[in-house]
A and B are shown apart, each in its own frame.
Chain A
Amino acid sequence: MSMVRGAYAQLMARGERKIFVQWNDMHQRELEYPAVFNVESMTGAYEDELEFAGMGPTPIKFENSPIFYQALIQGGTIRAIPLTYAIGARASFELYDDDQYGIIKQIPEAFSHSNRFTEEQVPWNIFNLGFSVITSIDGVTLFNNQHPLLGGTAATNITPGAANIISAPGTYPNRPATDIDLSYAGVQLMTNQFERMPDAVGMPVTYKPKSLLIAPANRYLSRELLGSPGKPGTATNEINSLLGEDLGYIIGHYLTADAPWFALCDKQYHHLKFKWRMKAVMDFDDDFDTGALKHKSTMRFAVIPANWVGVWGSNGP
């Protein structure tokens, strides 16, 4: 569609004292996803990422018996495909020429406003849809109570304490068996699942959650849970044992529901990735026949949850 003068009659008349231009006068939030996602750049039409698991524990070798040979385990592949996001606007030559306030000339700034939202919402939907649609390298949803381990049941057979955590042999959770609200018990359950975390062949590894990721509505509760000197919500003398976990919290303003909450390890320990293929490029040209001015903005990026380790989520309930 073309923007024409009749639809912007107020821009034709001199004398307006103030025009509230939302895309310039309203301040968008600072970028939030870079605090959560590993931001990288990429080239080409796609990138594949692989996973390999090591060997199991070293077994005993009895006197003069041969050593026991084991093999590395090749895991699956996940592919990052950048999508192109583009927006355009077309204004008649007459509108551009007669605009008394230079509003039409500010179309590129409006594009920046639009781009910012898309650049945020796509990665945040990894969390919003991580219980249902978004799939990680193992082929199951990103937040799942039964992520299958490459080592299978042999892995969880040797994981110390796994029986108290897992819902099925050969799997490990990054989500409760029954979703639980953000609460004292919920945070304890989450930290326990991280504390018992094994690698794909069952040997304990260190994944320490650093931050809770919450919707804005949960910021007060988070302060109470993570900041109260005593056990939150009790009249007893117990200390708040969550203080020792040294957890912070991040408010995700692009989370669509209030009930889900998440826990994240430091970025270097998880594999949620935002890959720039091309940062936003603005361009414009005029149409020879009509003189209309055409603006456009184009950007390309991919977002993938390359692996589920290092992140945890509960969908409410």
Chain B
Amino acid sequence: MASLLANHIPFEVVETTDDATDLTHTMPEAAGQTFLRGVPVQLNAGNVQQWDGATITAGILGVSDEDAHNLASAGKGYPGAFTPVGFPGTGTTFGSVPNQPAAVNIPEGAPFSIGGTVYAEATENTIFRGQTDNNTGAATMPTKANIGSQYGVSFDANGHAYIDFAKVTPGTNTVVIMYDLDPIDGSIANARILFKFLKAAMQLAV
């Protein structure tokens, strides 16, 4: 079954419990990633990729702060210690260069890439906001009664993530805990809610 909505608003950090700037970090991006900004991501062999949607124990690194770059190889161009950003500096190229198979054409305005993904790390201090839905297609309307309940996360047909009110079995399919209603949406259909990732679901558990 599919979610009721085909598109969902990206996850984002809205506040932290210690009133500090949310912890963001950059790690090398896995090859061929096309995930969107505002979706859960995970580390796989040291490279960031979209969360697989299934690993609920230590499976979520954080939430992407930018779209993936569709890199030709993992971490392509990612700078090491005292090295500049490597070639080509983007994941978006076109055509070919005569007689130079490894060279690239970069279209004007192509998003730059340093070979990594910036993400907001899932920490106990970080409160995210995300839209609710139900993978059965049923209507979803969060209320105050849901605060403190655990839920899972699913992806819609267009690659966005949502808080899945059909995933409610702790230890089996839940990765977040509802922190509050969103002060703007309140209790409406497919409202956004404030949530934290469960410590058990955090990949780095900081």
Contacts and interface: CB of A to CB of B under 8 A. Distances in A.
Interface of A: 45-46, 48, 73-81, 83, 118, 121-122, 125-126, 129, 133-140, 148-152, 170, 302-304
B137 to A, nearest CB: 41
A148 B84 CA distance: 23
B138 interface: no
A170 B99 contact: yes
A114 B112 CA distance: 28
Contacts of A137: 103
B114 interface: yes
Contact of A77 (B82, B86, B98, B104): B104
B28 to A, nearest CB: 14
A81 B91 CA distance: 13
Given A83-B114, A122-B83, A78 B98 contact: no
Given A78-B89, A83-B79, A304 B84 contact: yes
B107 to A, nearest CB: 9
A152 B101 CA distance: 11
B85 interface: yes
A77 B83 contact: no
Given A76-B97, A80-B89, A133-B83, A48 B108 contact: yes
Interface in B62-114: 79-80, 82-90, 97-106, 108, 112, 114
A67 B105 CA distance: 31
A129 B102 contact: no
A126 B84 contact: yes
Nearest to A142: B87
A79 B89 contact: yes
Nearest to A53: B98
Interface of B: 79-80, 82-90, 97-106, 108, 112, 114
Nearest to B102: A139
B84 A150 contact: no
A150 B100 contact: yes
A150 to B, nearest CB: 5
B87 A150 contact: no
A200 to B, nearest CB: 9
Contact of B85 (A74, A138, A302): A302
Nearest to A46: B112
Contacts of A134: 83, 86
A256 to B, nearest CB: 10
Shortest Cβ-Cβ A-B pairs, 8 listed: A139-B102, A79-B89, A76-B103, A135-B87, A152-B99, A77-B106, A139-B103, A121-B82
Contacts of A151: 98-99
Nearest to A126: B84
* Secondary structure class of chain B's binding surface, majority of residues: loop
Contacts of B102: 135, 138-140, 148
A78 B88 contact: yes
A141 B80 CA distance: 16
A249 B100 CA distance: 33
A75 B103 contact: yes
Given A134-B86, A302-B85, A77 B105 contact: yes
A75 B83 contact: no
Contacts of B112: 45-46, 79, 81
A126 B83 CA distance: 8
A173 to B, nearest CB: 15
Nearest to B85: A81
Given A48-B106, A83-B79, A73 B98 contact: yes
8 contacts: A74-B105, A77-B104, A78-B87, A80-B85, A134-B86, A148-B102, A150-B97, A152-B98
Contacts of B89: 46, 78-81
Nearest to B94: A77
Contact of A76 (B80, B104, B114): B104
Contacts of B108: 48
Contacts of B100: 75-76, 138-139, 148, 150
Contacts of A48: 106, 108
A125 B82 contact: yes
Contacts of A150: 97-100
Nearest to A117: B82
A37 to B, nearest CB: 12
Contacts of B104: 76-77, 139
A81 B106 CA distance: 13
B74 to A, nearest CB: 15
Contacts of A148: 99-103
B87 A139 contact: yes
